[in-house]
Amino acid sequence: MIKQNSQNTNLAAEFYIASQLFRLGYIVTITLGHTKEIDLIVAHPDGRTCTIDVKGLKNTTNWPLNLKLKKKDHFFVLVSYLNKFDQIEVSPDVFVVPSLYVDNLLTKWTGRPEVTCIGYGKLKNSKFRNAWHLLFK
């Protein structure tokens, strides 16, 4: 088995989300790290677009977030592999959060108050779980 790192987790999450969006009928461009706050550019069949910053976690702890880009058509899609990253038969949990709403969910990282994050526990039973409809509301 190949040793995994956080870069692999994020890249896997980006491709997973791109795949889900294609399945929903959207056109998706993956930026492959060329744009810091934008991992995916998504086009609706009617011409509207939005951007997504994907954050992947192998476990169920916290997603650290950098909030440089906050606008109506920008979203955070948070992916948790539920401690089963190497088990492809287990689907990850996915949360679609509008960037304008993120401030309501942020907390300080325990022991590192300069880092803001969203905890998995805060989202696991929330309205953001699989909330794909929010992208083009």
Quick: pLDDT tens for 62-113. Answer: 999 988 788 999 999 999 999 999 899 999 999 999 999 999 999 998 888 8
pTM metric for this prediction = 0.92
Query: Strand pairing partners for 108?
Result: 116
pLDDT of residue 6: 61
Total count of domains within the chain: 1
From the CB of residue 118, how many other CB atoms can be counted at a distance below 10 Å?
22
Biggest distance spanned by C-alpha atoms of the chain: 46
d(CA 59, CA 57): 5
From the CB of residue 107, how many other CB atoms can be counted at a distance below 10 Å?
12
> For 43-72, what is each residue's pLDDT tens digit?
999 999 999 999 999 999 999 998 878 899
Torsion-angle region of residue 130: left (phi > 0), alpha (psi -120 to 50) or beta?
A: left
Per the structure, the complete domain to which residue 74 belongs is given by 6-136
With respect to residue 56, please indicate whether it lies within any of the assigned structural domains: yes
CATH code of 101's domain: 3.40.1350.10
d(CA 78, CA 43): 19
With respect to residue 1, please indicate whether it lies within any of the assigned structural domains: no
With respect to residue 14, please indicate whether it lies within any of the assigned structural domains: yes
> For 24-44, what is each residue's pLDDT tens digit?
999 999 998 778 899 999 999
